[in-house]
Chain A
Amino acid sequence: MSEEYVLQLQHIRKEYPGVVALKDVSLELKKGEILALIGENGAGKSTLIKTCSGAVIPTSGKIVINGNEHTSMTPQLAAENGIAIIYQEFNNVAELSAAENLFLGRPIKKGFIIDKAAMEREAEKAFEHLHIKINPKSLMKNLTVGYQQMVEIAKAIQQDAQILIMDEPSAPLTSTEVENMFEVVKHLQKEGISIIYISHRLEEIYRLSDRIVVLRDGEYVKTLITKESHVEELIHLMVGRELTETYPARKKDCIDKGKVVLELQDVCGNGDENISFQIHKGEILGLGGLVGAGRTELAHLIFGAAKKKSGRIILNGKEINPGNPREAIDLGIALVPEDRKRHGAMLGVSIKNNINMAVYERNSTMSVIDTRKEKAVAKKYKEELAIKAPNLEQPVKNLSGGNQQKVILARWLAANSELVIFDEPTRGIDVGAKYQIYKLMNHLVEKEGKTILLISSEMEELMGMSDRIVVLSEGHVTGELEKYDFNQDTIMAFASAAVREGEPV
């Protein structure tokens, strides 16, 4: 084996029941280099780095550290070999000081007593070494996110990390904080520490990295020398799959361009800034972007589940300000939520009751439920959506993921809303169920005159189903495309566009 590599991942494969998360992925990290790891959501970046920390045990493949072969890692083994990972979520204790956090789990002691002064002295040295100014005595909760991250990095270096893996380190930071973090990273590189840097901000990768490894759908695609590559090439490698799946065709004449159902004018709030777009009657508008771009947050604003700071939401020509989901439902808006377990199904409640949940008030007289209607509604959608269950009284937790999703769909179809927002409607369900949901969406716009806002992180689905796509990045609209302009590379470029505060996009 060559001496220059500090870390080699060889032919890593990871299978989960029913899915292959990583297929034969290899990667080499040289001493003192910054290696960027990129790929779309779900490309396998996180799974791959977790094999290095011991959080994921690979099904097959080898991990070679400084020439020593391992088939899998454990957290201790990773630490002994000088591997440290800076996750997006920090592992710190908010009520303790920066110094105490730095020595968390291995405090400096004088006999049985923790030597606070010594820890603060050591922390001061550690921070100075990284050229960062943090008062070791200040409580973690009083530090900005950027400084909290610095403490994490300092902790890794304190523990003699030789390989630092950073998972989207710039995501929570402001632009000045990002600059500071870059300084620290470059400084560490000069000291001979090797860094794997994961980010979807391509601009950062070009500023920082020496080489780039591209993953796509759990597979290794290519390694590029940063200086010799182009952004276009990179984007193409990230998304460049063949469009294989077919989508049910839809009649084009169902769109009424003359009638705007929903219009957003400079809507701000819930992390989104100045969002403006229109949706026409009978249209499926796709909302594209990476995870965390602010799409679900926008859906919650429209649906009254989050508070709008400013701007106008106009439904059928009238400005609306839904204060809660009930008001939004009564105005004719539905939201099929993204996270089934957390936001969708009430798992212990029966299928029948779950389907009726949004329409109980409508189907009751003096608060008393019309049980015949209740049963009829549940039965109708069980048949229409082919929900597989022995009877309607079954609690939803007994159903498979796809059938749970159908129950939630049924709830919102029963509400008979004019505008339906689908947030990742097919995540985690099988191909057959996916196709049924696509057909259902077509039916809604073609036959029932509904209008759909579709949020999807699956590029194919977004392009296959939408009439128009609006792309968000970091809470801003970064692009809008008509159907004839749909192109994976363009959408990806919009989705990973950096947004600077105060700059027009």
Chain B
Amino acid sequence: MKEKVVYQLKDKAIWVVFILLFIAFTIANPRFITPNNIITMVRQVSMYGIASIGMTFVILLGGIDLATGSIITFVNIICAYFMVHNGMNMYLAILLSLLLATLIGTFNGFMVSTVGMPALIATFATQTVFRGLAYIISGGIPINGFTEKFKMIGQGYAGPIPVPVIIMIICFAIGSFILNKTYFGRYFYAVGGNEEAAKLSGIRVGHVKYLVYSLSGLFAVLAGIVMLSRTNSAQPTAGDGYEFDVITCVVLGGVSVSGGFGKLSNVVAGVLIIGALTNGMVLMNVSSYVQMVVKGLVLAFAVGFDCIQKKRQTI
């Protein structure tokens, strides 16, 4: 019984951290806990949340995806370009963007799986290429002027709940379904946990990698479209550095950086912690540079914690 309690506490430790952080910010500034602020906070993190699902899959696999931010940027520009300059139907533009970003992810999968490049370098190359392409297509100038209907995605509400939050919840449900109910989900853990054994158990490891990097592209683009609608303007720097926040969320959520271990439900906590940190620090008038320092330390702490636990196990 006692063991079970300890296990549960360990498993849910990140939620405890979230609650403590929440209380601390409330004490520092009571405005933090107002319904308005909480809704704002959740809306702010919805994009991190959506992108973190794909990143969770990649990290579970023992990989990393540095292309997330530039996929977001690229899709911002390309989707806006389709709608504004080509006058394309909104749904068609979104569909094309989804397809494109998924293909970028598939290309990452190709480099990692078929070519055998280290994920860090492969996705870093993709990142640079698409950041450049976003500049080339936009000429460095923001693209504006979307329809009211498109703005709904990022700015609308369903009752009191912002649409981006609803999209995030749906995405988490889909992600959780893939991870827990389909055999692909089992394979992510297996490949991340022991690639050689996975291969000998009849898992086509290559296929799994293609799928995971494609999904990472897909969830990144969903986040990108929400962002585009929300900011109402396609900036050629929109997603710069986004991947690091997303990676921080995932690692904070207890997904092991060496792969094979982690839960999507805890990633939700990781996302909320980053949201609370950002929001809380803004309320406390902490400068954005100090925020960077704090986030960096949080990332180091989360990974450090994971590594120390690993070390203890092996001794």
Binding site for B on A (CB under 8 A): 303, 305, 324-326, 328-330, 335, 337, 342-349, 353, 356-358, 360-361, 364, 367-369, 371, 397, 411, 415
A368 touches B182 (CB 8 A): yes
Question: Which A-B residue pairs are the 7 nearest by beta carbons?
Answer: A360-B183, A346-B193, A326-B202, A329-B202, A357-B201, A367-B182, A346-B194
CA distance A360 to B190 in the complex (A): 12
A357 touches B260 (CB 8 A): no
A349 touches B260 (CB 8 A): yes
Determine whether B184 belongs to the interface, using a CB cutoff of 8 Å to chain A. yes
A326 touches B261 (CB 8 A): no
Q: Which residues of B contact A337 (CB under 8 A)?
A: 197, 200
Give the shortest distance, in Å, between A394 (CB) and chain B (any CB): 11
Q: Which of A326, A328, A357, A361 has the most CB of B within 10 A?
A: A357
B202 touches A348 (CB 8 A): no
CA distance A343 to B197 in the complex (A): 4
Query: Which listed residue (B186, B190, B197) contacts A342, Cβ 8 A?
Result: B197
Q: Which residues of B contact A347 (CB under 8 A)?
A: 193-194
A324 touches B204 (CB 8 A): yes
Given contacts A353-B186, A367-B184, contact A343 B193 (CB under 8 A): no
- 16 more contacts with CB within 8 A, not counting A346-B190, A346-B193, A371-B181, are A324-B202, A324-B204, A325-B201, A326-B203, A328-B202, A335-B200, A344-B197, A345-B197, A346-B189, A348-B193, A348-B260, A357-B201, A358-B201, A361-B202, A367-B184, A368-B182
Determine whether B196 belongs to the interface, using a CB cutoff of 8 Å to chain A. yes
CA distance A371 to B187 in the complex (A): 15
A357 touches B190 (CB 8 A): yes
Determine whether B198 belongs to the interface, using a CB cutoff of 8 Å to chain A. yes
Nearest CB to that of B190 among chain A residues?
A346
A369 touches B203 (CB 8 A): no
Q: Which residues of A contact B182 (CB under 8 A)?
A: 364, 367-369
Number of A-B contacts (CB under 8 A): 80
Determine whether B199 belongs to the interface, using a CB cutoff of 8 Å to chain A. yes
Q: Which of A324, A348, A361 has the most CB of B within 10 A?
A: A348
Interface residues on B, range: 20 to 34
Could you list 22 A-B pairs, sorted by A, with CB under 8 Å? Answer: A324-B199, A325-B201, A329-B202, A330-B202, A342-B194, A342-B197, A343-B196, A346-B198, A348-B261, A349-B186, A349-B189, A356-B186, A357-B202, A357-B203, A358-B202, A360-B183, A360-B186, A361-B202, A367-B182, A367-B183, A368-B182, A369-B182
Q: Which residues of B contact A325 (CB under 8 A)?
A: 199-202
Give the shortest distance, in Å, between A124 (CB) and chain B (any CB): 40
Nearest CB to that of B258 among chain A residues?
A348
Q: Which residues of A contact B196 (CB under 8 A)?
A: 342-343
B183 touches A369 (CB 8 A): yes
Q: Which residues of B contact A324 (CB under 8 A)?
A: 199, 202, 204
Nearest CB to that of A395 among chain B residues?
B261
Q: Which residues of B contact A371 (CB under 8 A)?
A: 181
B204 touches A353 (CB 8 A): no
Nearest CB to that of B256 among chain A residues?
A348
Q: Which residues of B contact A367 (CB under 8 A)?
A: 182-184
Nearest CB to that of A366 among chain B residues?
B182
A357 touches B186 (CB 8 A): yes
Q: Which residues of B contact A397 (CB under 8 A)?
A: 313
CA distance A472 to B182 in the complex (A): 43
Residues B226-282 near A (CB distance < 8 A): 256, 260-261
Q: Which residues of B contact A361 (CB under 8 A)?
A: 183, 202
Nearest CB to that of A324 among chain B residues?
B204
Residues B119-163 near A (CB distance < 8 A): none
CA distance A342 to B198 in the complex (A): 10
Give the shortest distance, in Å, between B224 (CB) and chain A (any CB): 26
Give the shortest distance, in Å, between B59 (CB) and chain A (any CB): 14
Q: Which residues of A contact B261 (CB under 8 A)?
A: 348
Q: Which residues of A contact B198 (CB under 8 A)?
A: 346, 357
CA distance A328 to B260 in the complex (A): 25
Nearest CB to that of B207 among chain A residues?
A326
Q: Which of B200, B204, B313 has the most CB of A within 10 A?
A: B200
Give the shortest distance, in Å, between B79 (CB) and chain A (any CB): 29
Give the shortest distance, in Å, between A239 (CB) and chain B (any CB): 32
Q: Which residues of A contact B202 (CB under 8 A)?
A: 324-326, 328-330, 357-358, 361, 415
Given contacts A324-B204, A357-B203, contact A346 B260 (CB under 8 A): yes
Given contacts A346-B189, A347-B194, A349-B190, contact A369 B201 (CB under 8 A): no
Give the shortest distance, in Å, between A169 (CB) and chain B (any CB): 30
CA distance A397 to B189 in the complex (A): 14
Q: Which residues of A contact B260 (CB under 8 A)?
A: 346, 348-349
Give the shortest distance, in Å, between A216 (CB) and chain B (any CB): 33
